Amino acid sequence: MTRILGIETSCDETAAAVVADGIDDRSNVIASQFDLHAKYGGVVPEIAARAHIERLDSIIEEALAAAKCSPAELDAIAVTNRPGLVGALLIGVTAAKTLSWAWGKPLVAVDHIRAHAYSPAIGLATVPWPAVALVVSGGHTSLYFVRDPLTIELLGATTDDAAGEAFDKVASILGLGFPGGPAVEKTARTGNPTSIDFPRTMLAHDSLDFSFSGIKTAVLYHVHGPGRTTGGLERLSPQNLADIAAGFQAAVIEVLVRKTLLAVKRTGVRTAVLGGGVAANRTLREALSTACLQKQLSFHAAPMAYCTDNAAMIAALGYHHFVHGDLAGLDLDAHCVPERASAISNQTLPSA
Ligand code: KG4
Ligand code: ZN
């Protein structure tokens, strides 16, 4: 058995986990900072970094204790070093480097977005690869062709806002607070998803890229009237609010599902997987699951515990880097941008 300690501090969750053999979650400890950022309506980088410093030691201790694993029993330490808020990432990277040196354990660097793409495999008895992975988070909305955990190619990405960002902004327009995704989902439950026809931005008919800035503006105009940004909310009844949330959510989900199916068709794979914070949205999970079932495709959504930011996905993907000898040195640095995934070309696709 190979046990990896994962450390994640890329944004506003301080997290540590122990995962065995890339799939078996022994512990998954997360300290969320929602309360610290809520009054600012978004994540404040300096506050996030400071909270990581204060909390990370005890979160790591808790993750080891919950997994009944001593430092000596670990095989390696995996840490998110990109992408994210650099000040926040640096806290995790510095902690991981220090522990790697102090405990004499190998260090592994993990890309946060690739870990979201891998997260649906945690706990599965058989590997889902090759697969199309839809990663929908607060900072990214991308479709990948995942050949295996370490070979991932970019099929399409958002040209403006990420899906999670659109959820957060719409929540703010509707006065639903922060973080927005769960609040929009909850409000949408009592709404009619067909009463307002928000735009479905598909870009070119065969494009695998996304654009969510138009729908955000459409919601803003629907609430306040064209050209205005305030003064409309008080006209809306709770039912109006629910209908807007449901209409917005339905439009975003329709685009995500259509493009995922297009990516599956283009690559010729028979499996789709879903990860990232927005993957916690039950309506999205059900819509993609139903669409895949209709096309006789396998579908795996990341278990709820691994959708929003967590360290189990870092330890799980870190295992694959470790067994392939892909280790980091003590000069490891933090980066705000993701590792470049090669853009896929038609020649490299498997035949359908
Ligand atoms: O993956 P994640 O935790 O952090 C990033 O890597 O960005 O994703 C956070 C995003 C936020 O935008 C949040 O509003 C969204 O995921 N989110 C949701 C739900 N839960 C979290 N969006 C829609 N429905 C949800 N239930
Ligand atoms: Zn994330």
User: Helix (H, G, I), strand (E, B), or coil: what is residue 94?
Assistant: helix
Ligand 1 pocket mutation, candidates 136, 137, 174, criterion most atoms within 8 A of CB = 137
Residue nearest to atom 3 of ligand 1 (CA): 308
Question: How far is residue 159 from each of residues 19, 23, 170, measured CA to CA in Å?
Answer: 34, 33, 18
Whether residue 347 lies inside any domain: the answer is no
Task: Give the residues surrounding ligand 1 with Cβ less than 6 Å away.
Answer: 11, 137-139, 164-165, 167-168, 179-182, 185, 276-278, 280-281, 308-309
Cβ-Cβ contacts under 8 Å for 217 (sequence gap 6 or more): none
For residue 132, the model assigns a pLDDT of 98
Q: State pTM to two decimals.
A: 0.95
Q: Are residues 131 and 240 in the same domain?
A: yes
Q: Are residues 207 and 105 in the same domain?
A: no
For residue 351, the model assigns a pLDDT of 44
- Please give the distance, rounded to the nearest whole angstrom, from the Cα atom of residue 245 to the centre of ligand 2: 23
Report the CATH number at residue 253. Answer: 3.30.420.40
Q: Are residues 96 and 167 in the same domain?
A: no
Whether residue 348 lies inside any domain: the answer is no
Q: Are residues 11 and 47 in the same domain?
A: yes
Chain-centroid distance, C-alpha 301: 12
Q: Does residue 324 have a pLDDT over 70?
A: yes
Q: Rounded distance, CA 156 to CA 163, Å?
A: 13
Q: Are residues 269 and 134 in the same domain?
A: yes
Residue 245: closest CA among 190, 294, 203, 206: 190
Whether residue 209 lies inside any domain: the answer is yes
For residue 164, the model assigns a pLDDT of 96
For residue 338, the model assigns a pLDDT of 86
Q: Are residues 310 and 298 in the same domain?
A: no
For residue 271, the model assigns a pLDDT of 98
Would you give the DSSP letter of residue 350?
Answer: P
Cβ-Cβ contacts under 8 Å for 347 (sequence gap 6 or more): none
Q: Rounded distance, CA 304 to CA 321, Å?
A: 24
What pLDDT digit, counting tens, does each position of 218-257 carry? 999 999 988 777 788 988 999 999 999 999 999 999 999 9
For residue 260, the model assigns a pLDDT of 98
- Please give the distance, rounded to the nearest whole angstrom, from the Cα atom of residue 225 to the centre of ligand 2: 33
Q: Does residue 82 have a pLDDT over 70?
A: yes
Backbone angles phi, psi at 338, to 5 degrees: -70, 165
Whether residue 260 lies inside any domain: the answer is yes
Q: Token match 């899906």: residue?
A: 163
Domain housing 43: 3-120+306-323
Q: Are residues 105 and 55 in the same domain?
A: yes
What pLDDT digit, counting tens, does each position of 88-144 carry? 999 999 999 999 999 999 999 999 999 999 999 999 999 999 999 999 999 999 999
Q: Rounded distance, CA 134 to CA 196, Å?
A: 26
- Please give the distance, rounded to the nearest whole angstrom, from the Cα atom of residue 181 to the centre of ligand 1: 6
Whether residue 27 lies inside any domain: the answer is yes
For residue 342, the model assigns a pLDDT of 66
Rounded to the nearest integer, the mean pLDDT of the chain is 95
How many domains are contained in the chain?
2
- Please give the distance, rounded to the nearest whole angstrom, from the Cα atom of residue 31 to the centre of ligand 2: 14
Q: Are residues 181 and 284 in the same domain?
A: yes
Whether residue 328 lies inside any domain: the answer is no
Describe the chain by its helix, strand, coil percentages, rounded to 5. Answer: 45, 20, 35
Residue pair 14/31 in contact by the 8 Å Cβ criterion: yes
Give the torsion through C-alpha atoms of 82, 58, 54, 309, to 10 deg: 30
Q: How confident is the model at residue 349 (pLDDT cuts 50, 70, 90)?
A: low
Whether residue 23 lies inside any domain: the answer is yes
Q: Are residues 298 and 312 in the same domain?
A: no
Q: Give percent of the chain with pLDDT exceeding 70.
A: 97
Chain-centroid distance, C-alpha 161: 14
Whether residue 98 lies inside any domain: the answer is yes
Atom of ligand 1 at shortest range from CA of 308: 3
Q: Rounded distance, CA 278 to CA 85, Å?
A: 19
Residue nearest to atom 22 of ligand 1 (CA): 181
Q: Are residues 268 and 150 in the same domain?
A: yes
What pLDDT digit, counting tens, does each position of 49-74 carry? 999 999 999 999 999 999 999 999 99
Q: Rounded distance, CA 88 to CA 86, Å?
A: 5
Q: Are residues 209 and 135 in the same domain?
A: yes
Exposed/middle/buried for residue 221 (C-beta within 10 Å: 0-12, 13-18, 19+): middle
Q: Are residues 145 and 101 in the same domain?
A: no
Q: Does residue 284 have a pLDDT over 90?
A: yes
Chain-centroid distance, C-alpha 194: 27
